[in-house]
Amino acid sequence: MFKFGFVLLSVLAIGLSAACSPTPPEFPNTETRIINAQNPTNSYKLFIFKPDTPAPENGYPVIYLLDGNSVFGSMVYEVKRRTALKYGDPAIVVAIGYPEEDAWNARRGRDLTPWPPATPPSEETSEKNKIIPGGADDFLTIIETQIIPAVEGDYDINPNRRTLAGHSYGGLFTLHAFFKKTGLFQNYAATSPSIWYAPERVFKELDAYAIQHHKTPDTARLYIMVGGCEETPDQCDPFIPAASPEMAQWIIHIGKMVTNAATLYDKLHAVRGDDILMRNLGGENHTSVIGSSLSWTAAFAMTSPEKTTIVQSDNAQ
């Protein structure tokens, strides 16, 4: 099971990398920083954008974005567009990536996965990847103790309007952070979260979170997004059934991106009500959903909580 999931994500990442510049575009008011430069296996590159528009009274909202090498430029365009049209408060973007130039670094398979996979990878996959999964807690600690203090010590940021956003493995990481570090961010945007990776553990974390929330209520918001065609490769990914019928079957019966996301939404909405949002982005597959989800993520982060109707849930329909 893991083998096909790994192969699928690799194929999609390769396709997306071909469409992405390996070096994020440069914008005015941007800078890059290296975190942990002395330790190459645990170093990270930050791509930071600050808008021209003055900060709101309490500081800028900030979007911490995973897989920063590939999506920094697209998110900056979204933030600049929404700022120019006054569709929300201007926001700072902090895209967390890697010093290497590839758009999708193999280390994400370690940093964004909370545990070993439900089904161990084959020896062939393990040898090829050279990455030991299950490092999400260490990565989350680096974000909390190094990245956030480094950025927010130098920029006028409102610590009460932090957003964490990620796609695929990044969506899985975002869910894990929501369950384990609910107060670290106020907004969590999980796009196409890879719940298939270890579904029993994801839902076990959800159950533990529900118990904790009843004891100590929190106000963090979660926005779940998924491509409407992520379980119908014949409609949106015609090359997959043709090239690999086995992979197409994995997408439908094991990956279950839409089904898993909807189940997660239903369970969390029962606990938290309208602080849990979901949007099914029709016509999008696992790759194309990235672009459209960035627009909704920007709206989510740049909109004050009392204006949630701007990004209101479509109730998983």
- Domains (ranges, CATH) in the chain? 80-90+109-305 (3.40.50.1820)
Residue 305: pLDDT band by 50, 70, 90 thresholds? confident
Which 3 state secondary structure label does DSSP give 61? Answer: strand
**Strand boundaries in 133-286, DSSP class E:** 157-167, 187-191, 221-227, 276-281
Does the pLDDT at position 14 exceed 50? no
The pLDDT value given to residue 211: 98
- Of 112-126, 215-229, 259-273, the one with minimum mean pLDDT is 112-126
70 and 76 in contact (C-beta within 8 Å)? no
Which 3 state secondary structure label does DSSP give 49? Answer: strand
Does the pLDDT at position 20 exceed 60? no
Instruction: Provide the whole-model pTM.
Output: 0.89
The distance of Cα 185 from the centroid of its chain, to the nearest Å, equals 13
Query: Parallel, antiparallel, or unpaired for β 92-97 and 60-65?
Result: parallel
Residue 80: pLDDT band by 50, 70, 90 thresholds? very high
Per residue in 196-235, pLDDT (tens digit) is 999 999 999 999 999 999 999 999 999 999 999 999 888 7
